[in-house]
Structure 1
Amino acid sequence: MRNLHLVAALAASMTIGGCAYAADSKADAPLSEAAQKALAGYEPVGTANCIPLSQVRSSRIIDPTAIIYEITSNRLYVNQPAGGRCTGLRKDRALVTRITTGNLCNLDLVTVIDPPSPIQYGACPLGTFTEYRKKQ
């Protein structure tokens, strides 16, 4: 009985804490129209479980289904959050990433925040990274 209360309390704290992860969506969902538009002129060349954070020049939230990490102007990585979407992701928000290995990996959590205020909108577990290169 005690474990049941602990599980209920944990579930309630995740709801109150604003967990931004939408577990009911598919991990292999196709890229959204907005993400496809942002990737115009690029083609997928492979996947990776991790990318070195030291090589990331910038990151950009496209919508709840895609984050673009720019390595160079010719090379990008797209991450679709685990489960296919993260409801807290919006263009006007930012990501806070805490890592200990120097790499950003699938299933790492990124916290979604509102930059001008201390408001947090939960955390999203990352999915696999898809590498894109500029078309020749």
Structure 2
Amino acid sequence: MRCLMILALAATTAGCAATGSGPADPPAGERTSYNNGRSLDQALAGYVAGDKVSCLPQTRTPQSDSYGQTVVYRVGRNLLYRNDMGPGCEGLGRGDIMIASTPIGRFCRGDIVQLIDRTSRFPTGSCAFGDFIPYRKAK
């Protein structure tokens, strides 16, 4: 049985609509309204990157924030995973909602993600997960 997982990109912005017509894929450090007002560099500050892995360990749906086409999953207080999504996920920068289904209960490189407009709930695109890069809190 396929498990359907809906990932809201930022819980604090669940009621916000996409605004403006800015760039579809902002630079990595640019702020968007779907990352708590922080840049990707700020989100990863104090963390050290590890070796990439093919799948995100899945015990529960982690909190996530988007930075252009990059998604950062907060798995625990000291562990983040970064995923640079493939082409077609430009809507993440607008705050679109990701919907992914997985038959094995975890997300893996190559799994397809559908994007849905936060306001209209119409599909806006699809793309695939890239590698997951773990970031651990620096000691």
CA RMSD of aligned residues (A): 2.0
Give the counterpart letter for 1:126 in structure 2: F
Counterpart in 1 of 2:120?
Answer: 117
1:131 partnered with 2:127 = no
Q: C-alpha offsets along residues 44-90 of structure 1, whole Å, 9 cap, x if unaligned?
A: 022110113324421221212x101111021010001136x732222
Counterpart in 1 of 2:35?
Answer: none
TM-score by length of 2: 0.66
Conservation of the 8 A alpha-carbon contact between 2:89 and 2:125: no
Residues 86, 93 of structure 1: alpha-carbon distance in 2 compared, 3 angstrom cutoff: closer
Secondary structure of the corresponding residue to residue 46 of structure 1:
coil
Shift of 1:123: 0.7
Work out which of the residue numbers 43, 51, 56 in structure 2 matches 1:51. Answer: 56
Identity %: 29
Please give the residue correspondences for 1:91-110 in structure 2 after superposition, counting only pairs within 5 Å. 92-110=95-113
Work out which of the residue numbers 86, 95, 117 in structure 1 matches 2:89. Answer: 86
Conservation of the 8 A alpha-carbon contact between 1:61 and 1:94: no
Equivalent residue pairs, number: 104
1:71 partnered with 2:75 = yes
Work out which of the residue numbers 29, 32, 35 in structure 1 matches 2:28. Answer: 32
Residues 71, 51 of structure 1: alpha-carbon distance in 2 compared, 3 angstrom cutoff: same
Give the counterpart letter for 1:37 in structure 2: Q
Secondary structure of the corresponding residue to residue 78 of structure 1:
strand
- Segments of 4+ in structure 1 off by > 3 A? none
CA distance in 2, matches of 1:91, 1:135: 31
Shift of 1:106: 0.4
CA distance in 2, matches of 1:103, 1:74: 20
Shift of 1:36: 2.0
